[in-house]
Structure 1
Amino acid sequence: MKTLKIIKIGGNIIDDGKALASFLSQFAQLEGPKLLVHGGGKLATQLAQKMNVPVQMNEGRRITDKDTLDIITMVYAGKINKTIVAQLQANNCNAIGFSGADGNSIVSVKRPAKPIDYGFAGDIKQVNTKILEVLLHHNITPVFCAITHDKNGQLLNTNADTIASELAVGFAKHFKTELYYCFEKNGVLKDITDENSVIENINTETYTRLIDASIIADGMLPKLNNCFHAINNNVDKVCIGKPDMLFKTHSLYTTIQK
């Protein structure tokens, strides 16, 4: 059984043109089947401000009204996704851009409006890997943005970390699957001010202790919840850290364990 690498890159890489170009050059050279998931970076917020569309957030999560959905669809599924695909083609990596609507690959439902109305936010209900498997077997790399659909014509804004996790779980039936969350830190840190305080291994027991001690909090909580969802549903390997962990044998990063 082949090993499929599913890699999610965060906004900080997307926001930095040099960092993105460097990452994509290295990503293109990874051998074997691979799939890329990307977030939105700051571009959607900047465009919303230019268009005088209010940016509404709650605890770090974007509230997606109709105007905001239009903007993030243009930015995520358009500008960012196609720029990434074009750069991969320039690096001789044949890639195709995807939203969840393409190939009916990811079906979501609109999140309930209570206790907080997040607007057109989508919670994933189904991942369909068949069309993606065909592409992977022909050495074509799918590149997913953070947009899904509800099978009734409605696009939905969906967390990119969750998309990566659900895709990894879906593919685990057919591939040995590895999931990597790449962002600007070396991994999960004991001390947010110390880049070298990486917690190299986290299992369910230590995760609970780290939450109780408030070492893991805020935006790292949903990311790690997605990690544990994957590792508890037959994904073989889940790691968090800088992109270096994909390319260097002795890189520092966090590994998630059962």
Structure 2
Amino acid sequence: MTGTKKQSLYVIKVGGNVIDNEALLPAFLKDLSNIQGNFILIHGGGKIATRIGEKLGIEAKMVDGRRITDAQTIDLVTMVYAGLVNKQIVAKLQAIGCNAIGLSGADGNIIPATKRPVKTVDYGFVGDVKPEDINAHAVKALLDAGMNPVFSPLTHDGHGQMLNTNADTIASSLAIALGELYHVRLIYCFEKKGVLRDANDDNTVINLIDRPIYNQLLADNILFDGILPKLENAFAAIESGVGEVLIGHADDVLQNTTDAVAGTLIR
């Protein structure tokens, strides 16, 4: 196999603000269907879960912007993420000729996880993932069969318990695991044009971030909270051999599968 060029694979994560936006989502999914080559999609859906939870009398409990997943909440997010959101995305992709298959981490034992240990905060039924535990060959089998996996942000502990897991982390972990089999480009898609110097100004995109630049941005207190997990996961991917990582607007997803990239390149 030495010298054999790996196939390209795009690991694409889309945020809940895009999924929940009737103006952004159809164009985003249409762009996915036009990608030349293999891709997998990982989606969020926290706002939708919160909204449906309110209707069911299940209050969203948050600590530092992170959801506490108690027994009621894990049932809620399993229904919303793996059910409603995942299957709606799959149905919409099928309608435009993209052979998507909807999955959670429990399906095919693709993403086993361990329940996060209690430290200062008990996050409840939250799973931590190690890339080396991911069943990359099961994902490859689906891709080889002409299907595009669409993952909800759920994993399992191997003992029958579903676990809520950060979608950015799942995307990064899948990218790392699949890097053994493919040349992977990890693309984070959300409602901003990239990593911004000013969170309120889309014209302040930082085109390139490496570790020294990142450390300086942190020291200067420039980065807004929501982008920090994406950047940490992006660097984890790069430092584990993933080819490229891009953070950009959902509208630019198709462009970001080419050489003429938009948004922020992580290196």
Unaligned runs of 5+ in 2: 1-5
Measure the CA separation in 2 of the matches of 1:247 and 1:130.
26
Q: Report the residue type matching 1:253 in the other structure.
A: G
191, 209, 213: which one pairs with 1:202? 209
How much does 1:117 deviate? 0.5
Correspondence 1:20 to 2:25: yes
Measure the CA separation in 2 of the matches of 1:6 and 1:49.
32
Q: Report the residue type matching 2:239 in the other structure.
A: N
58, 71, 79: which one pairs with 2:63? 58
Percent of aligned positions with the same letter in both sequences?
49
- Cα RMSD of the aligned pairs, angstroms, is 1.2
Aligned twin of 1:256: 266
SS at match of 1:49: helix
Runs of 4+ in 1 over 4 A off after TM superposition: none
- 1:87-106 Cα offsets, whole Å, 9 max, x none, are 11111111111100000000
User: Which one is further off, 104-113 or 212-221?
Assistant: 212-221
- 1:128-170 Cα offsets, whole Å, 9 max, x none, are 1111101111221000000000111110000000000000000
Aligned twin of 1:236: 243
Measure the CA separation in 1 of the matches of 2:112 and 2:197.
36
105, 109, 121: which one pairs with 1:116? 121
Q: Is the 2:190–2:248 contact (alpha carbons within 8 Å) kept by the matching residues of 1?
A: yes
179, 183, 186: which one pairs with 1:179? 186
Measure the CA separation in 2 of the matches of 1:251 and 1:158.
29
Unaligned runs of 5+ in 1: none
How much does 1:41 deviate? 4.0
Q: Report the residue type matching 2:144 in the other structure.
A: H
Aligned twin of 1:221: 228
SS at match of 1:115: coil
How much does 1:244 deviate? 3.1
Please report the TM-score for the alignment, with normalisation by the length of structure 2. 0.93
Please report the TM-score for the alignment, with normalisation by the length of structure 1. 0.97
Number of matched pairs:
257
Q: Is the 1:146–1:158 contact (alpha carbons within 8 Å) kept by the matching residues of 2?
A: yes
78, 82, 93: which one pairs with 1:77? 82
Aligned twin of 2:91: 86
Residues 34, 252 of structure 1: alpha-carbon distance in 2 compared, 3 angstrom cutoff: closer
Correspondence 1:35 to 2:22: no
